[in-house]
Amino acid sequence: MREGQATAIQRLDYTAPAFWIDTVDLTFDLDPAKTRVLNKMRIRRNLDVPAQPLRLDGEELNLARVMVNGGGTSFKMEDNQLVLENLPEGDAPIDLEIFTTCAPAKNTQLSGLYVSHDTFFTQCEAEGFRRITYFLDRPDVMASYTVTLRANKALYPVLLSNGNLVESGDLEDGRHFAKWADPHKKPSYLFALVAGKLVAREQQIKSRAGNNHLLQVFVRPGDLEKTEHAMNSLMASVAWDEARFGLSLDLDRFMIVATSDFNMGAMENKGLNIFNTKYVLASQSTATDVDYANIESVVGHEYFHNWTGNRITCRDWFQLSLKEGLTVFRDQEFSMDMAGSDSARAVKRIEDVRVLRTVQFPEDAGPMAHPVRPDSYVEINNFYTVTIYEKGAEVVRMQHNLVGRDGFAQGMKLYFERHDGHAVTCDDFVQAMADANPDSPLAHHLEPFKRWYSQAGTPRVRAEGQYNADARTYTLTLSQSCPATPGQPTKQPFVIPVSLGLLGADGRAIALQQEGDSEASGTQGTIVLTEPSMSITFANVDSQPVPSLLRGFSAPVILECDFSDADLLNLLAHDTDPFNRWEAGQRLALRLATAAIQAPGEWQQPLLPPEFLEAMRDVLRNPALDAAFKELVLTLPSEAYIAEQLDEVDPQRIHAVREAMRAELASALHADWIWAYEEHQTPGAYRPDAASAGRRALAGLALTMLCLAARQSGDTLWPGKTYQRFKDAGNMTDRFGALAALVGSDHELAQPALQRFHAMFRDEALVLDKWFALQAGAPDRNGNILPAVRALMTHADFQIKNPNRARSVIFSYCNANPGAFHRADGAGYAYWADRVLELDTFNPQVASRLARAMDRWRKLAEPYRTLAREAIERVAAQSTLSNDVREVVTRSLADE
């Protein structure tokens, strides 16, 4: 859709559909230039709503024929809808037949039916099915699908769609066909087809319930050896959903297909998931530990949608978090359960919170802020956001914590008893949770709890402690507030579970006894903050304690508390809650960073005082802590996270201060980094498990630090060793880590290493993506990155139409390299504007994601702010913008 048609859709305007579609029988004659689609539907009026014409959605279709009950009919076109006004009255079923054609080879948006490497794929969520045929393309219309695919057999030997293969055979002229029937009703966004030259890894499994299933992972010939991890992840996902939630696979056959041209990560089409190759293909020589972990979690995520999303779906797209927030929560829990140890679980939790705070908190404070259940949108594709996903998952996690693990399982059970096979709302989910747990704090505070779904913005919780030595009591006062967001000037109080403990001056956990209680109840408790302000008093406290608040990040809020440096050092050294231990270190580092950033003129060196370095060394050398956890503690807060804490952002200064801090950490702990590197080698066969990956992560950080230190000292030993490691590494994690250490320290060995890396992996698209991303994301030295990025775009392997490749260069620069992107000459912003406009001409979804890179422009210091506004205005001035990009830049420029 192009300019002029953009109208906002309002949540409260929801009305049930005027017709139901009971069955759909689709026949495809697949041809890249012109595919014919015969769509036979059996529909019936929805007698619950006033009689009205049938309006079917359709986009970029050529309509050849419409028939009603076997005969001709009158119809008209209105905008992008096919309108039938004279359908028979009453409740008798109506047979509707629509014949259209479309051009998959010309589909550069990768929404609807498209061709990638001579293979047909579909992507229908959210509104792509209307680009395949005319339909009631909305999630509350659930139908039974039968699909016949016909195509040239030599070119397209594999023909797949949802459900079970019921018939297949040869046709004349070298063609063949396959007929598929889906046993489950589904909304149109879950439809899929795939046709091409593919091969599959197959696995038969028996479920707990005793049923047999066939699992298949389809890839291009040559990629088969790289599918083992995806298949293992799929088997683990099936077993996990049965064990943890009693949810079994409801299909005889479950297929995953990988494609290298995909806008998103992966898609949960019923029984036929379609994945970006990035989240399927892995071998130790081409994929890093992070890739392995991502594959496990994305395979899990899409599989878990089979129940949370597909069996119970969304009534309308405002309810998107019903399936996405819940399914992210489920995939997070799956990854934690797979990781095993408490420490590995904590590491996963910290990683998830880091994403929430560096991406979602800024979204919630910026022009695109919206509630977990939004109230309006122009383009639904713009609302697949970290708020819907990550904050939505936090809202589910709070419910989990408020009703307990078993209570949550009961709530899920009731949710399925009530709503299986239906399209429902976020309210229906929380209601089931509360009804299954009537005595829980969730049930007691249900109405105010629901504000997490309706109010945008990140709440702030301020904590103040008062110790009374005479009475031996400690009173904690918690107060909450939430800043205004677009369209929501004031907020009502949230229900905020604050999990906490108290530490003595010696670091020991203090038993918690609330005033009035006869005895202590362990060393950890939860206060549910429901009022603007609440106080709680603990008795029998012998000395001034240090509060450990919001343990495990028990609510998605910003916690403000006047910790002294000594308090934070105590928490970092002793807290029994690993999350807060990490958090204490981050707070200390943040404090040092912000002090230097805000200091007038040059900052004082050294930036890192001895106490801080000593504490970091203690963590690094602590034999009781896991390597993965150490790596997180020893990593300074990101530039994006530091920026979020400041009212006015000078990205260059943030970058310079953080780099200076890193350099000091590298030099001051030099001997410790050598020790860490040597002690955390992983000899023997490569295994991507959490423990081995943690060791490699810490060794990788150590190598990065040793190269940084060498940059200052002129030492050649460690860069040399790093180059050697780069050449000899037995896996991609170590090889890429070494390469990144050389590039990150701008060593002269970086260029030969990059060349060698490219030569080694010239035929591995996913590895080349890493190669591009590393260079576009490298630390800026005197403005050298933008010219490098421009040069990368002229490289023979650069293709802007491939989303992964476009992201590897353009997004790595604009989104993930603030020190290089924010230039005082505005050239980074001009580059951004050019790319948004360029991408928008063929793929609005990808363009619109890039447009979001400027969300926080209002916080920038001059001259960045003015230059940023000019760049955004230049994009907004383009008259042919897609709705996707138009919505983002309009919000961005809107007065607050």
For Zn ion, the binding residues (CB under 5 A) are 324, 327
Instruction: Select the binding partner of residue 792 from Zn ion, ligand BES, none (C-beta < 5 to 8 A, by kind).
Output: none
Give me the helices (H) in 182-319, please.
228-245, 289-304
Compute the distance between CA of residue 828 and CA of residue 815 in angstroms, rounded to an integer.
11
HSE-CB for 131 with a 13 A CA cutoff: 22
User: What is the rounded distance in angstroms from the CA atom of residue 832 to the CA atom of residue 854?
Assistant: 9
Question: What does 140 bind: Zn ion, ligand BES, none (CB cut-off 5 to 8 Å by kind)?
Answer: none
Q: Is 256 in the site for ligand BES (CB under 6 A)?
A: no
Looking at beta carbons only, is 122 or 327 nearer to Zn ion?
Answer: 327
Q: Enter the DSSP assignment of 312.
A: B
- The DSSP output letter for 861 is P
Query: Shortest distance, CB of residue 414 to ligand BES, whole angstroms?
Result: 24
Phi, psi of 853 (to 5 degrees): -60, -20
Q: Binder to ligand BES among 138, 185, 229, 301 (CB under 6 A)?
A: 301
125 contributes a contact to ligand BES by CB under 6 A: yes
Q: How far apart are CA 65 and CA 61, in angstroms?
A: 12
Nearest approach, Cβ of residue 462 and ligand BES (Å): 33
What are the DSSP calls for 479-497, one per residue? EEE---BTTB---PPP-EE
Q: Please, are residues 527 and 478 in contact by the beta-carbon 8 Å criterion?
A: yes
Look up residue 823 and give its DSSP letter.
Answer: -
In the complex, the smallest distance separating the C-beta of residue 424 from ligand BES, rounded to whole angstroms, is: 17
Least distance CB 793 / Zn ion (angstroms): 31
Asked if 423 interacts with ligand BES (CB under 6 A), we say: no
- C-alpha dihedral (411, 413, 418, 420), degrees to nearest 10: 130
Options 44-52, 301-309, 593-601, 757-765: segment touching ligand BES (CB under 6 A): 301-309
The window from 261-269, 459-467, 645-653, 859-867 that contacts ligand BES (CB under 6 A) reads 261-269
Residue nearest to ligand BES (CB): 265
Report in angstroms how near the CB of residue 181 gets to ligand BES at its nearest.
23
Q: Find all residues with CB under 8 Å of 157, minimum gap 6, and list them.
A: 196, 197
Q: How far apart are CA 119 and CA 149, in angstroms?
A: 13
Q: Which residue's entry shows tokens 């994403």?
A: 355
Active centre residues (catalytic): 302
Yes or no: say if 792 and 811 are a contact pair by the CB < 8 Å rule: no
Residues contacting residue 373 through CB under 8 Å, at least 6 positions apart: 11, 318, 319, 321, 426, 453, 454
**In whole angstroms, what is the distance from residue 825 CA to residue 871 CA?**
12
Give the residue, chosen from 68, 195, 266, 502, that forms a contact with ligand BES under the rule CB under 6 A. Answer: 266
338 binds ligand BES (CB under 6 A): no
Binding residue for ligand BES, selected from 53, 265, 448, 486, defined by CB under 6 A: 265
The pair of structure tokens assigned to 329 is: 């929560």
8-state DSSP, 637: P
Which DSSP helix (H) or strand (E) runs through 734?
Answer: helix 732-744
Q: How far from 208 is each of 165, 241, 311, CA to CA, in Å? A: 24, 11, 20
Residue (195 or 266) nearer to ligand BES, CB: 266
**Binding to ligand BES by residue 582, rule CB under 6 A?**
no
Q: Which two tokens stand for residue 511?
A: 């038993």
Cβ distance to ligand BES smaller for residue 380 or 654:
380
Question: Which residue in the set 25, 268, 672, 855 belongs to the binding site for ligand BES (CB under 6 A)?
Answer: 268
Among the candidate windows 172-180, 244-252, 262-270, 751-759, which touches ligand BES by CB under 6 A? 262-270
Please count the residues of this chain forming the interface with ligand BES, following the rule CB under 6 A. Answer: 16
- Which residue in 547, 545, 479, 476 sits closest to 515, CA to CA? 476
**Should residue 267 be labelled a site residue for ligand BES when binding is judged by CB under 6 A?**
yes
Minimum distance from residue 164 beta carbon to ligand BES (Å): 23
Among ligand BES, Zn ion, none, the one that 126 touches (CB under a kind-dependent 5 to 8 A) is: ligand BES
How does strand 175-181 pair with strand 94-102?
unpaired
Residue of 741, 854, 700, 17 lying closest to 368 (CA atoms): 854
Please report how close the Cβ of residue 431 comes to Zn ion at its closest, in angstroms: 22
Tell me how far apart the alpha carbons of residues 552 and 227 are, in angstroms, rounded to a whole number.
34
* Distance in Å, CB of 896 to ligand BES, minimum: 28
298 is a site residue for ligand BES (CB under 6 A): yes
Both structure tokens of 451: 């504000």
Question: Is-contact 803 845, C-beta < 8 A?
Answer: no
Rule CB under 6 A: say whether 324 interacts with ligand BES. yes
Helix 289-304 crosses helix 228-245 at what angle (to 10 degrees)?
A: 50
Sequence-separated (6 or more) residues with CB below 8 Å from residue 207: 213, 238, 242, 248, 249
d(CA 329, CA 394): 7
CA distance 559 to 257: 43
Judged by CB under 6 A, the residue of 302, 363, 769, 855 near ligand BES is 302
559 CA to centre of own chain: 24
Residue 125's binding partner among Zn ion, ligand BES, none (Cβ under 5 to 8 angstroms by kind) is ligand BES
Give 253 or 301: the residue with its C-beta nearer to Zn ion: 301
Which of residues 273 and 288 has its CB atom nearest to Zn ion in the complex?
A: 273
Nearer to ligand BES, 45 or 391 (CB): 391
Which residue lies nearer to Zn ion by CB, 324 or 583? 324
CB of 322 or CB of 482, closer to ligand BES: 322
298 interacts with, out of ligand BES, Zn ion, none, CB within 5 to 8 A per kind: ligand BES
Q: Which does 396 bind (CB under 5 to 8 A by kind): Zn ion, ligand BES, none?
A: none
Cβ closest to Zn ion, residue 189 vs residue 831:
189
Residue 741 contact, options ligand BES, Zn ion, none, Cβ 5-8 Å cut-off depending on partner type: none
Q: Which stretch binds ligand BES (CB under 6 A): 89-97, 298-306, 346-354, 664-672?
A: 298-306
For residues 268 and 333, which CB has a smaller minimum distance to ligand BES in the complex?
Answer: 268
Q: Compute the least distance from the CB of residue 232 to ligand BES, in Å.
A: 17
Instruction: Give yes or no for residue 261 binding ligand BES (CB under 6 A).
Output: no
528 binds, among ligand BES, Zn ion, none (CB under 5 to 8 A by kind): none
Nearest to 770 by CA among 800, 825, 808: 808
785/776 Cα distance (integer angstroms): 7
Cβ at position 390, least distance to Zn ion in Å: 12
Identity of the residue, 125 or 379, whose beta carbon is nearer to Zn ion in the bound complex = 125
CB of 327 to ligand BES, least distance (A): 7
CA–CA gap between residue 720 and residue 863 (Å, rounded): 41
Q: Rounded to whole angstroms, how far apart are CA atoms 351 and 632?
A: 8
Query: Cβ of residue 190: shortest distance to ligand BES, in angstroms?
Result: 9
Nearest to 746 by CA among 774, 778, 771: 778
Assess 379 for contact with ligand BES (CB under 6 A): no
Taking a C-beta distance cutoff of 8 angstroms, is the pair 484, 459 a contact? no
Is 328 or 814 the residue whose CB approaches ligand BES more closely?
Answer: 328
- Helix and strand numbers (H, E) in the chain are 31, 32
The reply to whether 365 sits near ligand BES by the rule CB under 6 A is no
Q: For residues 331 and 639, which CB has a smaller minimum distance to Zn ion in the complex?
A: 331
**By CB under 6 A, is residue 370 in contact with ligand BES?**
no
| Sign, CA torsion 289/295/298/300 | negative
94, 126, 572, 633: which one contacts ligand BES (CB under 6 A)?
A: 126
Regarding 264 and contact with ligand BES (CB under 6 A), the answer is: yes
- Contacts with ligand BES by CB under 6 A lie at 125-126, 264-268, 298, 301-302, 305, 324, 328, 381, 384, 389
